[in-house]
């Protein structure tokens, strides 16, 4: 279901998983969307937390909206599949459905089941056949989430019923996406798999904000790290002192919450506080924002600007380049 809703205020009264692609499409068109419902699925809860979607749990005045959508049509049950089941991992890029690869779209067009992450472009599910089953396995940072073991079980269970299961993931499945864990789980269960690479946000987010991760004569490499746990944490295997000496561009994914600790570790390791830094949130989406700053000021500037996840930090001289 697609509507040209640019600039409209839209009230949606349907909050099922089947409604997520329509709601995300409305947001992509530039509509101001309010959801009136008693409960939210995980993907919609994430949009609310990120400030992209308004949620009203009480009654609202419908007359104040340009458009009211009372019900998003539910998919009609598809014909039961025949033959052997399989799982296709689709890396779906940073968020804009236009950045899904041709192979990724073709996989969706033959899907019986789509198992989607919160950062996947949900509008792309509209490419799937009528009657496709959509399973929301969003993992909200420090909030509601589906365990990896449960996701693995869902993939295997549906495939064993003869279905083509598309695992739709943000970015690239093998870059901090736990994609190989899912491939291993399927292999252990005897389920055939295919992996379709995606556009990784570690390169796409800086690029969309006008920042190259390499530049001739300036930097000859880039390093991508996860900031999920801070420096010094028992689970962290990142040598920040070595990164500070590397002379490469540093790209930090999943590091909004730990950015103060990461910048402090780099400064203590001798990286100049004046080193340019760029922070890019919601890359490729209409809500994309970028902040140019320095290593010493990055944490404070991110907080002042209200930069929240998902965001990418780029640390290095390339962050000062202008077109």
Catalytic sites, residue numbers: 117, 139
HEC secondary structure over the chain: CCCCCCCCEEEECCCCHHHHHHHHHHHHHCCEEEEECCCCCHHHHHHHHCCCCEEECCCCCHHHCCEEECCCCCCCCCCCCCCCCEEEEEECECCCHHHCCHHHHHHHCCCCEEEECCCCCHHHHHHCCCCCEEEECCCCCCCCCCCHHHHHHHHHHHHHCCCEEEEEECECCCCCCCHHHHHHHHHHCCCCEEEECCCCHHHHHHHHCCCCCCECCCECCEEEEECCCCCCCCCCCCCHHHHHHHCCEEEEECCCCCHHHHHHHHHHCCCCCCCEEEEEECCCCCCCEEEEEECCCHHHHHHHHCCCCCEEEEECHHHHCCC
**Which of 217, 218, 211 is CA-nearest to residue 278?**
211
Cis peptide upstream of residue 129 (ω within 30 degrees of 0): no
Beta-bridge mates of residue 88: 166, 194
Q: Do residues 128 and 78 lie in contact, with contact meaning Cβ atoms separated by under 8 Å?
A: no
Q: Do residues 152 and 182 lie in contact, with contact meaning Cβ atoms separated by under 8 Å?
A: yes
**Rounded Cα gap, residues 200 and 289, in angstroms:** 18
Residue 167: count of CB within 10 angstroms of its CB: 32
């Amino acid at each position: 279901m697609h509507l040209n809703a640019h600039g409209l205020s839209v009230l949606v009264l349907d909050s099922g998983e089947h409604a997520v692609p329509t709601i995300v499409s409305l947001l992509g068109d530039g509509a101001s969307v309010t959801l009136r419902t008693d409960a939210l699925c995980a993907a919609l809860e994430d949009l609310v937390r990120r400030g992209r979607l308004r949620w009203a749990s009480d009654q609202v005045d419908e007359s104040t909206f340009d458009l009211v959508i009372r019900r998003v049509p539910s998919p009609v049950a598809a014909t039961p599949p025949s033959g052997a089941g399989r799982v296709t991992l689709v890396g779906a890029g940073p968020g804009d459905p236009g950045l899904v690869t041709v192979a990724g779209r073709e996989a969706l067009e033959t899907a019986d089941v789509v198992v989607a992450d919160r950062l996947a472009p949900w509008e792309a599910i509209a490419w799937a056949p009528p009657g496709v089953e959509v399973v929301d396995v969003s993992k909200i940072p420090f909030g509601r989430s589906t365990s990896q073991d449960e996701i693995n079980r869902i993939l295997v269970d549906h495939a064993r019923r003869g279905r083509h299961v598309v695992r739709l993931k943000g970015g690239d499945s093998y870059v901090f996406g736990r994609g190989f864990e899912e491939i291993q789980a399927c292999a252990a269960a005897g389920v055939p798999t295919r992996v379709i690479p995606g556009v990784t946000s570690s390169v796409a987010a800086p690029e969309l904000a006008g920042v190259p991760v390499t530049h001739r004569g300036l930097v000859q490499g880039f390093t991508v790290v996860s900031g999920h746990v801070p420096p010094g944490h028992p689970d962290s295997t990142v040598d920040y002192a070595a990164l500070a000496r590397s002379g490469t561009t540093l790209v930090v994914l999943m590091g909004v919450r730990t950015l103060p600790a990461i910048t402090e570790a780099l400064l203590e390791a001798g990286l100049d506080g004046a080193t340019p830094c760029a922070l890019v949130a919601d890359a490729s989406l209409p809500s994309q924002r970028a902040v140019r700053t320095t290593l010493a000021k990055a944490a404070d500037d991110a907080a002042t600007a209200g930069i929240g996840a998902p965001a990418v930090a780029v640390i290095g001289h390339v962050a000062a380049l202008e077109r």
